[in-house]
Amino acid sequence: MTPELPSSGTADRRAFLRTATAALAVPTAAALVGGALSGTAHAAGPTTDLPDFAPVPAAATGPALNEQGYFVGRVKGSLYWVTDAYYQAMFLSTRDGVVLVDAPPTIGNNLLRAIADVTRANGRPSKVTHLVYTHSHADHIGAANLFGRNVVRIAHRETRRLLLLDGDPNRLVPTVTFDDRFDLHVGGERLELAHHGPNHSPDNIFVHAPDHGTLMVVDVLYPGWVPFKNLAVSQDIPAWVKAQDIAMSYPWTTLVGGHLGRLGVRADGDVQRQYIADLTAGVKAAMNLDPTPFFQKYGPAGNSWAIFKTYLDAVAAQAAAPVIAKYTGVLAAADVFTLDNAATMLESLRIDAGLLGPFGTRP
């Protein structure tokens, strides 16, 4: 039996979410003209000191959301995707039921509405029989509880271990796990699941729909946008960078990246890899920054952490500046997260690659 949708008691929350996402889905003409909105008036209250950022390029935005705050569309054949302009999920509508990949809580019960929209039109069952977890993080599977305990939940073995540690009742533990590869066949449809090692998280998997020319890999490629802060808050930066190459080695034409409002095309992967290459080169070059002023300022007081902080912050800022200039207007939020991303790349190059700059072996 398909879980019931919530009653009108949640109407106020849905109305708020519709308002909050409207600007993401349909940028105003004013937002698409000119540079950063430095002259924009602020509302009174706690938002007074909020910064202004460059407009979101039109090419980064996705389709408009409906009144309930979501968009559902066909990818190809029986494969569909859902977005709320923040997160994305994907599902196969099969003759035996629905195979859903991820259950982001920001989409929440709109997943059920989206599935009902599709299956009402194609006459296939609306019941979700299988739920694939791309990885354990709550922002992508925190609405898994909406589909009940009888759904077959499939994930990497490490996902099960992590979820057992977390003990979150909203993220039910997988019932089927695998180590390297798993082929899922349901109602005449198939998905190829693969684990290529840690990247964004230890358990993050690649979900390939070969019959539909589609790859879903989450928190690795961000079509039209720079990666989320700190290089997607990834736990293994070198492996996360490598995962972008692995993603591009698949023969897909459509990417479901798990975030934001539109699907990806192969050119998106090329642009992000160039962004990462530019960021890496910039950090390496900035590591030549003269450390003398930082040691002179904070060394006499014995404040070692102040030396590290100010020097590393200066290196990150120097590396980020030309990258921000190059990608503003090309990738959305280049001015929002590039400094954070440069700081994270800097730490990875120091710790993982051994590029220690002035903190290397004493001569």
Residue-by-residue DSSP string for 275-342? HHHHHHHHHHHHTTS--HHHHHHHTTTT-HHHHHHHHHHHHHHHHHHHHHHHHTTTSBTHHHHHHHHH
| pLDDT tens for each residue of 328-344 | 999 999 999 999 999 99
Residues in the chain: 363
| pLDDT tens for each residue of 82-138 | 999 999 999 999 999 999 999 999 999 999 999 999 999 999 999 999 999 999 999
CA-to-CA dists, residue 30 to 23, 24, 34, 325, 335, angstroms = 12, 14, 8, 21, 19
Residues 247 and 220 sit within 8 Å (Cβ to Cβ): yes
- Token digits of residue 246: 């692995």
To the question of pTM greater than 0.85 for the whole model, the response is yes
Q: Is the pLDDT of residue 19 over 90?
A: no
CA dihedral for 71, 75, 81, 86, sign (positive or negative): negative
CA-to-CA dists, residue 53 to 39, 273, 324, angstroms = 11, 23, 12
What confidence tier does 38 reach under pLDDT thresholds 50, 70, 90?
very low
Q: Is the pLDDT of residue 30 over 80?
A: no
Question: Rounded to whole angstroms, how far apart are CA atoms 49 and 18?
Answer: 25
Q: How many CA atoms lie within 13 A of 218 on its CB side?
A: 28
Tell me the pLDDT of the chain averaged across its residues: 90
What confidence tier does 15 reach under pLDDT thresholds 50, 70, 90?
low
What pLDDT is stored for residue 360 in this prediction? 85
Listing DSSP states for 15-47 in one string gives HHHHHHHHHHHS--TGGGSSS--TTPPPPSSTT
- Which has the minimum average pLDDT: 17-21, 56-60, 125-129, 189-193? 17-21
Region 212-220 average pLDDT: 98
Q: How many CA atoms lie within 13 A of 126 on its CB side?
A: 18
| pLDDT tens for each residue of 247-276 | 999 999 999 999 999 999 999 999 999 999
Q: Could you give the percent of the chain with pLDDT greater than 70?
A: 87
In whole angstroms, what separates CA 362 from the centre of its chain? Answer: 40
